[in-house]
Structure 1
Amino acid sequence: MPANPKYLTQSKWQRFAKITAAILGGYLVSISFHLAIASWFNKANTIITMTFSGFILWVALMVVAFLAKNGWKIWFIYLSLSLLFSALLYLEQIDNPTAN
């Protein structure tokens, strides 16, 4: 049974924004989140855990991107989260530059 057209995204730009936000934006948030955690905690354990939790987080962020009404707002949220996690990573490197 086909989907009801009133629930589908009509704009091709919104569809493009949702698809790219789901794939690229979700990946950026997932990776930056796990790198920020790895900078503050045990790197080896975090990277090993990331192989499973990173994929689960990425899929959850994909679902959220397609549930949203506006794809550009999701892009803004995902980029903001990526910048926040990158800033946390940067702050840890400033705070403890000799840690590997």
Structure 2
Amino acid sequence: MPANPKYLTQSKTQRFAKITAAILGGYFVSVSFHLALTSWFNRPNIIITMTFSAFILWVALMIVAFLAKNGWKIWFLYLGLSLFFLGILYLGQNYNPVAP
């Protein structure tokens, strides 16, 4: 049974924003989150955990992107979260340096 057209996104730009936010934005958020964790916790454990949990988080963020009304707001949210996690990564590398 096909989807009801009234529930589908009519605008091409909104559709493009949702698709790119789901794929790229969700990936950026999930990877930056796990990289931020590596700067504060045991790196090998986080990397091993990342192989599974990053994929699950990425899929969840894809679903959120398609449930949103406005694709550009989701893009700004995902970019903001990515920058936040990268800031935590930066602070973790400065205040919690890993011994070589």
Q: TM-score, normalised by structure 1?
A: 0.96
Residue 19 of structure 1 aligns with an amino acid whose one-letter code is I
Identity %: 79
Aligned 1:58-77 pairs, distance under 5 A: 58-77=58-77
- Residue in structure 1 matched with residue 21 of structure 2 by the alignment: 21
CA distance in 1 between partners of 2:55 and 2:99 (Å) = 27
Flag structure 1 segments of 5+ consecutive residues without an equivalent. none
- Residue in structure 2 matched with residue 57 of structure 1 by the alignment: 57
| CA RMSD across the alignment | 1.0
CA distance in 2 between partners of 1:97 and 1:35 (Å) = 14
Flag structure 2 segments of 5+ consecutive residues without an equivalent. none
Task: Sort the Cα spacing of 1:97 and 1:41 in 2 relative to 1 into closer, same or farther, 3 A.
Answer: closer
Moved more, 17-26 or 87-96: 87-96
CA distance in 2 between partners of 1:98 and 1:51 (Å) = 22
Q: TM-score, normalised by structure 2?
A: 0.96
State the 1:96 CA deviation. Answer: 3.0
CA distance in 2 between partners of 1:98 and 1:40 (Å) = 9
CA distance in 2 between partners of 1:93 and 1:15 (Å) = 38
Residue 8 of structure 1 aligns with an amino acid whose one-letter code is L
State the 1:98 CA deviation. Answer: 4.8
The count of residues paired between Structure 1 and Structure 2 equals 100
CA distance in 2 between partners of 1:92 and 1:40 (Å) = 6
Instruction: After the TM superposition, list the runs of 4 or more consecutive aligned residues in structure 1 that deviate by more than 6 angstroms.
Output: none
Residue 93 of structure 2 aligns with an amino acid whose one-letter code is Q
CA distance in 1 between partners of 2:23 and 2:42 (Å) = 28
Task: Sort the Cα spacing of 1:28 and 1:3 in 2 relative to 1 into closer, same or farther, 3 A.
Answer: same
